[in-house]
Amino acid sequence: MRFQQHIFLIAIFAGLASCGHGNLSNDNATITVNGRLKPNLTTYTYGTNLLQVDASTSYFVESTVIVPLASFEGDSVQATLKDMGIRQNPGPELYNVISITPLP
């Protein structure tokens, strides 16, 4: 009985420790996409911008390399994105823009 109580408490603490934190991803993939850069007007607390590829595909982005991304807002761009391994639960992945080029 005592063993079951310990297991139960460990499960509770593990669940509490993960609440409110992003889930880490191990892949850190890099992708290149074309889309329109928009300001992040959502309730998610991360990402300075939204890169919308089409009606059903978009990426939450920020950049530690391209500052400021705001100079590309409203433009069609080609961007190379690196998965930062950050997820809010629930929520989308966050990507770092490592290069960006305006499209004609």
Secondary structure (H, E, C), the chain: CHHHHHHHHHHHHHHHHHCCCCEECCCCCEEEEEEEEEECCCCCCCCCEEEEEECCEEEEEECCCCCCHHHHCCCEEEEEEEEEEEECCCCCEEEEEEEEEECC
Q: Write the pLDDT tens digit of every residue in 54-79.
A: 998 889 999 988 878 999 999 999 99
Domains, in order of start, for the chain = 23-102 (2.40.50)
Segment 13-29 mean pLDDT? 43
Enter the pTM of the model.
0.68
Percentage of residues in the chain having pLDDT higher than 70 = 73
Higher pLDDT, 42 or 2: 42
